[in-house]
Structure 1
């Protein structure tokens, strides 16, 4: 039975919802919908996934939020690991650290990577999509989830889906936030999805993809991780080393290159192959 490792990326400062959400207490730590904070709702959303063994979550966050997050997990009866970033370096290094943490316990675990600040109301539909994604990820694919658009939204990035792939679709390309006319054309085409920022892949596959796409980030994260310390549930990296890490997002570092096949652009060995990149739709 496959093991799914939830990874919650909780690095945002939440300044756009000021004063309710602010740098010292970002939106993902607030109960904006229901009694749970958005972070707690993210963790709770995957409870009860069938046909899998669910590992305790790994949360990646800034050092200053560690006690609040630990307490919110404790109130849920969760005791997962908390990876503390000494400074923010965007989502690609954050996920790389989480993958290094995950392989310590389960080398073949399938990572379910989720931002901490999403609101998803249809939990059953989400879990069904995750089960489909887990099967593809276990077979070696990098899976991203796109939201089926119901309006020409200009505030989201889009994913264009391509040819069929084992019940999903290949990623054709990622596109930035469009203007209104372009968003309307995407909606009419029927092949574009909003980019949810949720993804699945084996920890080892992510590290291989980073070796192919951003070996510079991978090398710094490895070194910082090896220099790190563990204090209960808190995992810290070497601060001075991690400060040298380039900043890049999951999409720019890896996902877009899965669509273009441009894996060796950052000087990686030519024989490092890219995994297939596929997209699964979610309802809006």
Structure 2
């Protein structure tokens, strides 16, 4: 039986977080802000792997512009790979895999800005996956759905490989509502959480088959990297040659040995202000009030201010977000339209 590898958490922190504008900005995106707890999303991500069995010191792949924030919130022990430019998740994970290739660690790849409230269930799911990882399987974690959500991709589950582990039948793009309802009724489908577990070598072997040009560019970038203690700065010229592609498209949807562990672990990608409202503590009138804010005769509102004191009187199902220089107001249920406000802000400021 293959040896079970130790697990190195690989935390991806390259996102800009504009869906939670105006609190989340390019200079300080949502993973570095305390949105659901006093700790930041990044700090919570580090905390949830602290008690994992055989866990090694985390490795973070981050936007080079956030190097100081990463070090301040992550501490001195973590290794940080600073992406010289954005190329999506597959090249970012390739950099981490190369850093861990020699020891052939099992890589627990996860975003830095998700919520998992049942950490014990998460750890148990990881333990179910580890024997298959030792056999060269690429494992993803699927969230057991409780609604016909159209904002997530889905995974169709195939045959059982081990207790609590299924082979992936296929990946499904974000579906229209009628198809989401059908999949929920059928069962055997889970949300794609974007969390993975595989050995460094297995992932690089898959890249060699499916994305050889990406692999070559990433290898050249790491070969030419500047290293300063635990900080690695890959070559921008080489890394820029990588195709910008997600791990799902580049590898997971093509691989032969791809498995999924379905799990209910209180997961949210906190991808919108509506999602944050669902996670927040609410009063008897359904209001979630945070920071310098208050609600009077209001119902079903998310009111947050990090700047001026905000009072909402008589509001119904509103999202009201205030910072020192911007205020966002929109109806609950339409928070994905924050992109319109971001576009207007950029036009107003003459940004591209």
2:80 corresponding residue in structure 1: 82
Secondary structure in 1 matching 2:260: strand
Which residue matches 1:160? 156
Candidates 43, 47, 50, aligned match of 2:46:
43
Are residue 26 (structure 1) and residue 46 (structure 2) matched?
A: no
Other structure's SS at 2:243 match = coil
- Give the superposition deviation at 1:139: 2.0
| Residue 94 of structure 1, aligned match among 88, 92, 95 | 92
Contact 1:49–1:131 under 8 Å retained in 2? no
Q: Which residue of 1 aligns with 2:222?
A: 225
Aligned pair partner of 2:209 in 205, 209, 212: 212
Tell me the distance in 2 between the aligned counterparts of 1:114 and 1:35.
Answer: 21
Partner of 1:65: 66
Match of 1:248 in 2: 245
Partner of 1:266: none
TM-superposed deviation, 1:218: 0.3
Question: Using the alignment, how far apart are the partners of 1:145 and 1:279 within structure 2?
Answer: 5
Give the match's secondary structure for 1:200.
strand
> 5+ residue gaps in structure 1?
262-275
Structure number having the greater strand percentage: 2
Equivalent residue, structure 2, for 1:269:
none
User: Please, which of 111, 123, 127 is the counterpart of residue 127 of structure 1?
Assistant: 123
Report the alpha carbon displacement of residue 172 of structure 1 after superposing the two structures with TM.
0.4
Contact kept, 8 Å, 2:214 with 2:241, in 1: the verdict is no
Q: Please, what TM-score do these two structures have when normalized by structure 1?
A: 0.89
Q: Which moved more, 1:134-143 or 1:214-223?
A: 134-143
Q: TM-score, normalized by length of structure 2?
A: 0.72
- Quote the residue 1:280 is aligned against: 261
Give the Å deviation of 1:278. Answer: 0.4
CA distance in 1, matches of 2:222, 2:52: 30
For residue 282 of structure 1, report the CA deviation from its aligned partner.
1.3
The 1-side partners of 2:241 and 2:201 are apart by: 23
* 1:55 lines up with 2:63 in the alignment: no
Match of 2:173 among 167, 176, 184: 176
**Stretch deviating more after TM superposition (234-243 or 193-202):** 234-243
Give the corresponding residue for 1:14. 17
Runs of 4+ in 1 over 3 A off after TM superposition: none
Equivalent position of 2:277 in the other structure? none
The Cα of 1:34 is off from its aligned counterpart by 1.4
CA distance in 2, matches of 1:209, 1:36: 36
Q: 2:189 aligns with which of 183, 187, 192?
A: 192
Report the Cα offset of residue 246 of structure 1: 0.8
Q: Which residue of 1 aligns with 2:328?
A: none
**Alignment-derived partner of residue 115 in structure 1:** 111
Tell me which structure has the larger Cα radius of gyration: 2
Report how many residues are paired: 261
CA distance in 1, matches of 2:204, 2:246: 15
Unaligned runs of 5+ in 2: 267-352
- Is structure 2 residue 148 aligned with structure 1 residue 147? no
How much has 1:44 moved relative to structure 2? 1.0
Structure scoring higher RCO (CA < 8 A, sep ≥ 6) equals 1
Distance in structure 2 (CA, Å) of the matches to 1:135 and 1:37: 32
Cα deviation, 1:179-235, whole Å, max 9, x if unaligned, reads 100000010110110000000000000000101111110000001110111112210
Secondary structure of 2:159's partner?
Answer: strand
Q: Give RMSD over aligned pairs.
A: 1.1
